[in-house]
Amino acid sequence: MISSKKAKIRVPNRLSLPGQNFETLWDILKDAIDHIYADQVGELSFELLYRTVYTLVLRRKASELYGHLKSYLGDKLDELGQKSLKGVKGFELLQKLFEIWKSQCHYFKLISDVMIYMDKVYCKYERKVETYDMGLESFKNHIINPIKGHIDEAMLSDINKVRSQGSSEAPQADTWRGIIAMMETLEDEKDNYFSAHFEPVLLQETENYYKNAVNYEELSPVEYLETMKKLKSYEFSLDQKFINVDSTVKVTTVLEKVLIWTEQFMDAVPVLMRDALTNNNVELLRELCSLSSEEKYCTKILGCIKGCIWEDVTSLTVDKNSRKRAQIASQWTNRIIGIYNYYQSLLSTVDLNFFTFEGQDNSSLNVIHEVIGNYLKEDAVQTCEFIALHLDMYAKSTEDKRDINNVKESLEDCVKLFKLISEKDLFENFYKKLMSKRLLHQRSSIKLEKWLVKQIKSEMGNFFTSKLDGMLRDISSSTGLSHFFKPQENTLPNCIFTSQILTMTSWPFQTANILDENVILPPQMHHYKEQFEVFYNRKYNDRTLRWAHHLGFMEIGFQFKNGYYEISMPIYGAIIFLLFEQHEELTAEQILDLTNMPEQELQRQLISLSLAPKSRILKKKPLSKTISPQDTFSINYGFTSPTQKVRLQTIANVTTKSEAQSQVGQDSLEKERVIEVNAAIVRIIKSCKKTDLPSPNLPSKRA
Amino acid sequence: MDKNFNDLCYACRIGDTDNADRLISTGVNVNGLDEFENSPLYLASLCGHEGVVKLLLDRGAVCDRDRFEGVRCVYGALNDSIRDILIKRYNSKSVDINQPFVMHISSLLKDLSLNTYDIQVNPQKEINDNGLKLHKFLLSARSFKLRDNLCTVWSSESKLTTDIPTSVLNIITKFIYLVPVLHEISMSDYDSLIQASLQWDLKLLVEYLHRLKDVTDSSGKSTLINEYQYRVTEDAREQIKQFVSDNILKCSIDLNSTTNFEEKCQLFENHVAFPDVLLLIENPNQDRRIYPCHLAILSRANYFKTMFTLPMKENNTYQEYKVLKDSRKLPLITLPSCDFEVIEIILRYLYHDSSEIPWQYAIEVLLMADFLLEERMKSMAAVAMTQSKDFLEKHSIFDILYVAWETKMERLEQFAAKIIAFDLKNYSRDNELRSAIIKSSQMISVREETDTIELIDDIRFYLLEKYAFEPEDIEILSEEKDIQLLKTSGILDYQQDVTIIENILDELTLQA
């Protein structure tokens, strides 16, 4: 193959123009540029010019050509700048500059079309900017840079002039936009000239302008807000006329900085917010929230909202000394719920989700929860007690089935509070106690109780309701059991016996008093007791049945002189009352012997039977306020009552029983907590053991 | 034709997009099947050549979900990206045959920026400027009847009226201008369309209409459309080819020193080619010849397009001629000196995508295409060089390399490197290789890239290919001790070749 080299055809010469050195060829192009600048394009021959460029590039003169072209363009532009722009200022400068820019772009385009072969072959491979862009660069260096300051000044003073007139029409805006477009077209290092140079200047100037535009200190908060809104929307509409969206956003940010981040406004915000929230002013609230989307501002707004809610809830007063604790509790709870609902509906009108930062959920609901939750935490014992009491009141007052749905509706709101309660075990404790009483005394509808427990379960979790569930289970299984228990007909025909079998662990009572075992029951009752024990043992062979008389109660019908009354009373009371079936009159001492009751209990019962104003079914001699062993008792046949059914209230124990009881509750709660904590520690230690580490890091884990 | 189709199938297998493009331009049916019932699209899809798949689809390959071939292409696709491209086409029923010359001619109907039309056709009773703006040469090329009319009764007209209804007129002009129109024909126009087609002597359209009448189901219709769309394109190519050959190339006028140019120009009055631009070519023997041409077509090349978009002298002359219609004012464009054959190849390419470039002229065509800023033509010429067996007998590989560098044809650079690599021992004795390496290294110093020499890199790459190695193989084999294995693997020969290159580089004190 190599040997045949001589026979090969020579590659044809490139198709360039013959002869002529660089200078002559360059002169042709220079002349063409002169013509272009003189708007005499029609006289030029593209064919000739293209061939000239082509020839120069082929002769590897491209870099020389490029250099010449650049410096010649530079000269042209210098001359032009000297001629047209020197000494011109203000808006006239902008107009002239814009004119020159437009015509130069046109010229650059023509020149680059002539230089197309160089662009394609030389610039692309040598990584030089193409002719057109080179022209733009020269334009920046030779026209813009010498009068940079003048242009900025002219633009800014012109813009400020329009701002100060506040007119919505800006006839100059077209020229501004042209100049801005020019700046955006011109390259600067990395970025375009506009964002690298003019934008910062514009932002700075905007800041200065608005700082001094209005005497803000004279304005009231509401006026300030109005002014701010006006300025913002004005500036926004003005910006849209001549700068792009991104820059508009930047200007808006600057404006916010000037207008919002002043001490004055920062002071005004809480006032305005208070106003908006107190007067249910949705408009104002929305405005405040939409003023800025900056994190700092949003945090501020959120803080204000939280502050207002806090103020509202802490202003609730509780009369701790009042006797009607349940009523106060209910009032208090209702008011908390009221505040909750008020804020919920008000804040749902603004989209606080907008303020979500770093994964923190700032929805309106969360804000309310946070604040109210904090408030509820302040006095956790009172909170739990009050809410439990509130529920208790509702539960007790509804025995009618029709009411249940209404009550459910009104309790729905209360349910919302459940999840805000931080010391859930405390609440459970209170609730359990009240619930057990309701259940035993059949003071509420089982359906409602079940519903309530379900709500608590869904808000607090299974852990806290296992005992409540147990109680409900006991009640329903007892009903079944009573149903099956059919004592022999001959015992006592007109007596109805209802058993309530309570699982010891579920109920908040201390172990049944051992003394109960020793109480001597009236024969009928004793009969029942034995029969039931037999029945129960047959059914559940290995279960221990222990009687808790102090929890039971009994209803006795009796014909007094003035009418027949059905009196319900505690078992102990009934035992005493039934003694008078056989005895006309008994002394306290005798009663004690006959019943074998604990003395203290006897005293309590006797006081409530004979001294309590509404339920005096026993007469006492002598009529004193205390019970002494020698006092005699007999049935008070003159007893009257407005209703046929009478509930006999056992008076509170001589000691302040409720306090003692709650004290006991607290103690047991403490114990339970200690147990839980211990269990948690053990679990952690166990897991640590696997890695054979002692537990120096335990405290940190607990934290 | 058959050979071209097989070559196309081969190009589809190996992924040679440029060559496939060239072959399709010879008029090969891109929807044909080879002896194993494979379509080119299926082969390209199966072998995973995305570029070729796109090209084939652009050039009218059908991927129809209703037909076995279409479904097969999708299932055979080597990768997801190809499958996605195919599925996208799956659902579009319209057939666009985007042969480059077809696209250009279609665009003439809408793009009036260069003001190249020379006849207006108006519906009856409506003589204004809103008529269809058409080109005499194209009408004449596409229909004998119209050619006769244009040469006789309409010879001096620039505005015509016709009794053909507007909607039908639109369809047949679109047909003439190769805008895909077959699927747009509505039955309400049917009769008048047949009549008009007969009147304008559009035989293929008449034939299609007759067959369309008998087809009722939509899939049959789309098969018919596909078939005819292809035939319309090829028919048009043939007609334009005929026109170029008869009315342009054969009607060119030789100038000799004694004849007066002005007189010659008289000859273009009512010339059968209806030229609006004259190309003056001087060959190396300094014979000069004028070709009657059409700006509408020449503007396919960027050079001409720029020339007549700029408000410079050429454009002014052209517009003046358009107003005066004086054949003495016809714009005359000269091109750099070249053989007449070269300019004729280029004209054939511009008018009807002819990609037949005899190897003898390939370099010149490449250079001229470079001058005209016509990239596709350049790659056609490059393909012609690399495909020809005779080419290397007459040209030094280094000539090709230098031309490749000048015209930035990567394909040729690699071709040259491959040739050199495969016959390294012989070339290593040639001093031209040394100077080529030096030139290549100098090019890099300008580019300020990492200090590699492209030519050397290319040669090394093809050395691997020569001995069928992967780069990892070399590493593995370098630790191998078994002489027999080394011998059979060819690694020894490879290392020999590599050493030759190292020696040359040392000799030239270059590093790469």
Distance from CA of B45 to the nearest CA of A (A): 34
Residue of A613, A635, A632 lying closest to A623 (CA atoms): A632
Angle among Cα B373, B374, B376 to the nearest 5 degrees reads 145
The beta-carbon neighbor of B395 closest among A9, A46, A121 is A9
| Predicted pLDDT at A366 | 75
Please answer whether residues B228 and B29 qualify as being in contact, where contact means their C-beta atoms are separated by less than 8 angstroms: no
Same domain, B367 and B422: no
Q: What is chain B's percent helix, strand, coil content, to nearest 5? A: 65, 5, 30
How many whole angstroms separate alpha carbon B389 and alpha carbon A400?
108
Kindly list the residues of chain A whose beta carbon comes within 8 Å of any beta carbon in chain B: 1-2, 4-5, 7-9, 11-12, 14-16, 41-47, 50-51, 54, 58, 110, 113-114, 116-117, 120-121, 125-127
Helix, coil or strand: residue A597 = coil
- State mean pLDDT over A144-152: 84
pLDDT band at B127 (very low <50, low <70, confident <90, very high): low
- Band (pLDDT 50/70/90 cuts) for residue A288 is confident
Mean pLDDT on B407-413: 86
Give the pLDDT confidence score for residue B212 in this predicted structure: 84
Which of B284, B399, B426 is the closest to A11 by Cβ? Answer: B399
pLDDT band for position B3 (50/70/90)? confident
Set of chain A residues whose Cβ sits within 8 Å of the Cβ of B307: 46-47, 50
Model confidence band, residue B103 (pLDDT cutoffs 50, 70, 90): confident
Flag if A54 and B371 touch (Cβ within 8 Å).
Answer: yes
CATH code linked to domain A552-647: 3.30.230.130
| Choice among A205-219, B331-345, B370-384 with the minimum mean pLDDT | A205-219
Helices H, strands E: what count in chain B? Answer: 29, 7
For residue A249 the two structure tokens come to 């956003």
Structure tokens that stand for A630 in this block: 């020698």
Exposed e or buried b per residue across B23-37, where buried means at least 16 C-beta atoms within 10 angstroms of its C-beta: bbbbbbbbbbebeee
Chain B interface, mutation test: which of A16, A44, A47, A110, most B Cβ atoms within 10 Å? A47
pLDDT tens, position by position, B190-249:
888 888 888 888 888 888 888 888 877 777 777 788 788 888 888 888 999 999 998 888
Q: Give the SS3 label for residue B280.
A: strand
Choose the mutation target among B280, B295, B304, B312 for the interface with A, i.e. most A CBs under 10 Å. Answer: B312
For residue A513, give the DSSP letter: P
- pLDDT value at residue B336: 85
User: Cβ contact (<8 Å) for A14 and B314?
Assistant: no
Let me know: does A406 contact A451? Beta carbons within 8 Å: no
User: What value, to the nearest 5°, has the Cα angle with vertex A569 and ends A567 and A574?
Assistant: 100
Contact A41 B427 (CB under 8 A): no
Which sign, positive or negative, has the C-alpha torsion A85, A89, A92, A95?
positive
Task: Please classify residue A277 by burial: count the beta carbons closer than 10 Å to its beta carbon, then call 0-12 exposed, 13-18 middle and 19+ buried.
Answer: buried
Tokens representing B156 are: 């001096």
Q: Are residues B189 and B233 in the same domain?
A: yes
Average pLDDT value for chain B: 83
The reported pLDDT for the residue numbered B131 is 77
Distance in angstroms (rounded) separating the CA atoms of residues B428 and A654? 123
Here the CATH number for the domain that contains residue B24 is 1.25.40.20
Residue in B373, B408, B423 nearest the CB of A1: B423
| A7, A45, A58: residue with CB nearest B312 | A45
Provide the pLDDT for residue B266: 67
ipTM of predicted complex: 0.82
Query: B402 lies in a domain?
Result: no
Residue A128 Ramachandran class (φ > 0 left, ψ -120 to 50 alpha, else beta)? beta
Tokens 């072998």 belong to B47
Query: Is B371 within a domain?
Result: yes
pLDDT of amino acid B345: 92
Residue B61 has pLDDT above 80, yes or no: yes
Using a CB-CB distance cutoff of 8 angstroms, which residues of chain B are in contact with residue A8? 393-396, 399
Nearest residue in A to B309, CA atom:
A113
pLDDT at A15: 55
Q: Residues A247-268: what's their mean pLDDT? A: 79
Contact A553, A499 (CB under 8 A): no
Task: Tell me whether residues A125 and B423 touch, CB distance under 8 A.
Answer: no
Q: Is A643 left (phi over 0), alpha (psi -120 to 50) or beta?
A: beta
Q: Which of A393-397, A653-657, B94-98, B344-348 has the lowest average pLDDT? A: A653-657
Task: Give yes or no for residue A455 having a pLDDT over 50.
Answer: yes
Q: What one-letter code names the amino acid at B131?
A: G
Stated pTM of the model:
0.65
- Residue A553, strand partner residues: A570
Domain boundary among B227, B245, B263: B245
In chain A, what are the domain boundaries? Answer: 13-216, 552-647, 659-700
Between CA B97 and CA B31 the distance in angstroms is 11
Q: Check if the beta carbon of residue B56 is closer than 8 Å to that of residue B41.
A: yes
Paired tokens of A67: 């250099």
| Whole-number Å distance between alpha carbons of B80 and B255 | 60
CA-based nearest residue in chain B for residue A14: B367
Residues B393-406 have pLDDT tens digits of 888 888 888 888 88
CATH of the domain spanning A13-216: 1.20.1310.10
Partners of A2 on chain B (C-beta within 8 Å) are: 426-427, 429-430
pLDDT tens digit sequence for A638-667: 777 777 777 776 665 544 444 445 555 667
Of B310, B367, B373, the CB nearest to A46: B310
Rounded Cα–Cα distance for residues B470 and B455 (Å): 19
- List, as own/partner pairs, every contact residues B427-435 make where C-beta atoms lie below 8 angstroms and the sequence separation is at least 24, other chains included: B427/A2, B427/B397, B428/B500, B428/B504, B429/A2, B430/A2, B432/B396, B432/B398, B433/B398, B433/B504, B434/B504, B434/B507, B434/B508
Same topology, domains A13-216 and A552-647? Answer is: no
Beta strands in B102-256 (DSSP E): 119-123, 132-134, 159-162, 253-255
CB A490 within 8 A of CB A526: no
Select the residue of B306, B338, B360 nearest A113 (Cβ to Cβ).
B306
Of the two residues B60 and B127, the one the predictor is more confident about is: B60
Residue A136 predicted with pLDDT over 50: yes
The span from the CA of A113 to the CA of A104, in Å, is 14
Highest mean pLDDT pick, A201-210, A222-231, A307-316, B486-495:
A201-210
Q: How many domains is chain B built from?
A: 4
Spatial separation of the C-alpha atoms in residues B290 and A187, rounded to whole Å = 47
Domain membership flag for residue B401: no
Domain final position from B210, B245, B280: B245
Q: Which residue of A has its CA nearest to B444?
A: A126
Within 13 A of B312's CA, how many CA atoms are on the CB side?
A: 24
Whether the CB-CB separation of A552 and A502 falls below 8 Å is answered with no
Phi, psi of A178 (to 5 degrees): -60, -45
- Verify that B441 and B337 share a domain, yes or no: no
- Chain B's closest residue to A120, CA to CA, is B373
**pLDDT > 80? residue A175:** yes
Distance from CA of A20 to the nearest CA of B (A): 16
Q: Which among B333, B336, B426 is the nearest to A2, CB-wise? A: B426
- Reported in sequence order, the residue ranges of A425-523 that DSSP labels E, i.e. its strands, are none
Q: Which residue has the higher pLDDT, B342 or A272?
A: B342
List the structure tokens of B206. 């008449």
Measured in angstroms, the CA of B439 and the nearest CA of chain A are apart by: 13
Chain B positions touching A4 (Cβ under 8 A) are 393
Instruction: List the single residue in A with minimal CA-CA distance to B429.
Output: A2
Tokens of B279: 């190309």
Residue B278, strand partner residues: B292, B332
Mean pLDDT, rounded, for A163-175: 77
Q: What SS3 class is residue B46?
A: helix
Q: How far, in Å, CA of B437 to CA of B442, rounded? A: 9
Range B25-41 average pLDDT: 84
In a domain, B400, yes or no: no
Partner residue facing B311 (CB), from A2, A42, A45? A42
Q: Residue A660: enclosing H or E segment and its boundaries?
A: helix A657-689
Q: Is B436 a member of any domain?
A: yes
The residues facing A555 across adjacent strands are: A568
Same domain for B89 and B140, yes or no, is no
Contact state of A9 with B406 under an 8 Å Cβ cutoff: no
**Could you tell me if B182 and B54 lie in one domain?**
no
Q: Is B356 helix (H, G, I), strand (E, B) or coil?
A: coil
- Interface touch B403/A4, C-beta < 8 Å: no
Measured between alpha carbons, how far is B303 from A244 in angstroms, rounded to an integer? 37
Residue B72 CB partners (closer than 8 Å, separation 6+): B42
CATH number at residue B391: 3.30.710.10
Cβ-defined contact of B396 to A8 (cutoff 8 Å) = yes
For chain B, give the percent of residues with pLDDT over 90. Answer: 5
Query: Minimal CA–CA distance to B329: which of B252, B261, B258, B259?
Result: B261
* Inter-chain CB proximity A117 and B373 less than 8 Å: yes
- Is beta strand B277-282 parallel, antiparallel or unpaired with respect to A645-647? unpaired
**Number of CB pairs < 8 Å for A and B?**
85
Task: State how far the alpha carbon of A140 is from the alpha carbons of A97, A104, A604, in Å.
Answer: 12, 11, 105
- Whether residue B234 is found in the same domain as residue B113: yes
> Can you tell me the distance from the alpha carbon of A192 to that of A187, in angstroms, rounded to the nearest whole number?
4
Is B368 close to A43, i.e. CB distance below 8 A? no
Q: Which residues of A touch B396 (CB under 8 A)?
A: 5, 8
Instruction: Name the pLDDT band for A456 (thresholds 50, 70, 90).
Output: confident
Q: Which of B246, B301, B230, B298 is nearest to B27 (CA)?
A: B230
User: Is residue A198 within 8 Å of residue A152, measured between CB atoms?
Assistant: yes
Q: Quote the Cα angle for A210-A215-A216, to 5°.
A: 85
Report for A514-528, A683-697, B479-493: range of highest mean pLDDT: B479-493
B381 to chain A, closest Cα gap in Å: 14
Pairwise CB contact (< 8 Å): A43 & B313: yes
Q: CA B111 → CA A464, B107, B134, distances in Å?
A: 81, 6, 11
Residues of B in contact with A38 (CB under 8 A): none
Residue A568: phi and psi, rounded to 5, are: -105, 135
A7: pLDDT strictly greater than 70: no
Predicted confidence at residue A661, as pLDDT, reads 53
For chain A, give the mean pLDDT: 76
- B241 sits in which H/E element: helix B218-243
Percentage of chain A modeled with pLDDT above 70: 84
Residue B217 sits in the same domain as residue B305 = no
Q: By the 8 A CB rule, do A42 and B313 touch?
A: yes
**For residue B344, what pLDDT is reported?**
92
B108 and B72 together in one domain? no
A28 to chain B, minimum CA–CA distance in Å?
A: 15
Q: Which of B200, B219, B166, B192 is nearest to B209 (CA)?
A: B192
* Structural domain for B331, as ranges: 253-395
Rounded Cα–Cα distance for residues A338 and A330 (Å): 12
Q: What's the rounded mean pLDDT across residues B63-75?
A: 76
pLDDT above 60 (res A493): no
Per CB-CB distance under 8 Å, the chain A contacts of B371 are 15, 54
**What confidence tens digit (pLDDT) does each residue in A560-618 have?**
777 788 877 777 777 787 777 777 778 888 887 777 777 777 777 777 777 776 777 77
